[in-house]
Amino acid sequence: MSQQNENLQSLPLAGVRVIEFVHMVMGPTCGLVLADLGAEVIKVEPVPEGDNTRRLTGSGAGYWMTYNRNKKSFAVDIKTDEGMAAVRKLIESADVVTENFRPGAMEKLGLGYEQVKLIKPDIIYSSMKGFLPGPYEHRTALDEVVQMMTGLAYMTGPEGRPLRAGASVNDVMGGMFSAISILAALWQRKNTGEGQFVQTGLFENSAFLVGQHMMQMATTGKAAAPMPSRLSAWAIYDVFDTCDNEQVFMGVVSDSQWVSFCQSFGFAELGAAPELAKNTQRVQARARILPQVKARLLQLSKQEVMTMCEEAGLPFSPIQRPQDLFDDRHLNESGGLADLTLENGDQVKVPMLPFEMNGHRFATRLNVPTLGSHSAELLQDMGYAPGDVDALRARGIIR
C-alpha cells in the first residue's frame, strides 16, 4: 500500500499513548478518532485468535477494517502472570485506557479503573457501556436495543414497523463522544495533574439523538410522527421520480429558495402567488404544490433535475448506495478517502474523519494491524530483551 506519510510530531495528539481493550464498533471508533489525530493507540488482543471482530461476517464484515487503522496490535495472554505483567508495564507508560466490554468484565480481569489507577495514578480511563449508572446499567445493550428504547427506530420506520437506522449510528457516535470526553480529561489533567474516570452510554447517546423530537412534543403539544408519515417542516422535501426511472431528493427550505425553485423549474404561477410566499403557508398547501412538482420532475431526467438544482442553489441528491462512494467525485478529488490495504492485499479507500484542521486531513499512517504485529516492538521498548520476547512467544504468551 502507498500510505500517506505525515510528520507524526505535527499531529494534534502526538505523544499521547492510548491502551484499548475494545471490540465491535463503539470502542474501536473512539480509538480510531484518537489514532487518526496522532495518538499512539495500542490494541490489546487475546492470543491465539485476537479480537473476535476480526472474524465477523455478514453485516459486521466491514467493522474490523473500518475502525482499526493507525493502531498497533499487542497480542497477549493476560490470564498468565507474565502476560498480565507485560500489560501492567504497558499501562504504566499510558495516558489513556479505554474499554467497552460488559459491566464487571474488566474488574474481573484486574483491569478496572480502581485497579488501573494503582498502576498509573493519573490515568484517564474511558469506559463505554450500554447505559450510564442507573436502573438499567447492568443490562446488555446493542445499537438496535437502544434505538428501540429511545424511539429512534420508531421514528425511522413506517408506523407499526420500527426500523433501525441503516448504519451503526449510536455505536459510532458513542465512540466519538468518548473521544470528546477523553480530550476534555486530557486538557483538565494538564491543569490539575489528575486523571479521572469518564464513561459513555449507548442509551444516553440515542436519547440525545431523539432530543429534537422530544422538544417537538414539548413545544407543540403534538407527538412527532415517524419520518415516513411526518408532517414535513417544508412543502418540498421529498424524493422525486424522473423520466429515466431514477430518483432525486430535493428540498426547498427557505423563502428565497422557493423563489429560485419557481424560476428554475418554470412555476411562475406558484411563485407569484402571495398565499405561498411564506414557508408556513406552503406547508399548509402541500396538497396543491406537490402534485404539480411531481408531474414536472417526471418529465425531466435525473441529470437535468440535478443540474437545475445546482444552478439554482437548491439542496439535492441522487439516491446512492454506500458502495457508490468509492467513485464519488467530491470524496476523491478533495482527498477525503484514506488508503487502506485489505488482508488479501487489495488496496481500497475508506472515508477519513469528517473534518480538517488548518487545511489538513488525517490519513492512514499505519495500516490495520495484523494480530500481534507490534508485540515484539512494544515489549522491547519496555526493556524486554530479544531473548525474553522469543521465550514469551514460544510459550504462547504473546504473538
Whether residues 74 and 180 fall in one domain:
yes
Whether residues 283 and 198 fall in one domain:
no
Q: Are 97 and 116 a contacting pair, CB within 8 Å?
A: yes
Rounded distance, CA 266 to CA 245, Å? 22
Q: Strand 337-341 vs strand 347-351: parallel, antiparallel, or unpaired?
A: antiparallel
Whether residues 80 and 186 fall in one domain:
yes
pLDDT value at residue 284: 95
Element spanning 94, H or E: none
In a domain, 275, yes or no: yes
In a domain, 332, yes or no: no
Q: Which domain holds residue 193?
A: 8-209+369-394
Whether residues 55 and 183 fall in one domain:
yes
Q: Prior bond to 48 cis, omega within 30?
A: yes
Whether residues 201 and 294 fall in one domain:
no
Rounded distance, CA 148 to CA 314, Å? 34
Number of structural domains found in the chain? 2
pLDDT value at residue 3: 40
Q: For residue 314, is it left (φ>0), alpha (ψ between -120 and 50) or beta?
A: beta
Q: What is the DSSP string of 241-290?
A: E-TTS-EEEEEE-SHHHHHHHHHHHT-HHHHH-GGGSSHHHHHHTHHHHH
Amino acid letter, residue 46: P
3-class DSSP assignment, residue 139? coil
Rounded distance, CA 145 to CA 129, Å? 13
The dihedrals phi and psi of 236, each to the nearest 5 degrees, come to: -115, 105
Question: CATH number of the domain that 282 lies in?
Answer: 3.30.1540.10
Could you tell me the three cell numbers for 229?
408519515
Q: What is the DSSP string of 320-386?
A: --GGGGGG-HHHHHTT-EEEEE-TTS-EEEEE--S--BTTB----SSPPPPTTTTHHHHHHHTT--H
Whether residues 23 and 166 fall in one domain:
yes
Contacts (Cβ under 8 Å, ≥6 apart) of 214: none
Closest CA to 110 of 133, 82, 87: 87
- In DSSP terms, 18 is beta-bridged to 41, 96
Question: CATH number of the domain that 381 lies in?
Answer: 3.40.50.10540
10-residue averages of pLDDT along the chain (399 residues): 57 98 98 98 97 97 97 98 98 98 96 98 98 97 97 96 96 98 98 98 98 97 91 93 98 98 97 97 96 98 98 97 97 96 94 96 96 98 97 98
Whether residues 244 and 160 fall in one domain:
no
The CA–CA distances, whole Å, from 307 to 37, 251, 262, 266 equal 37, 14, 15, 15
Whether residues 121 and 200 fall in one domain:
yes
In a domain, 317, yes or no: yes
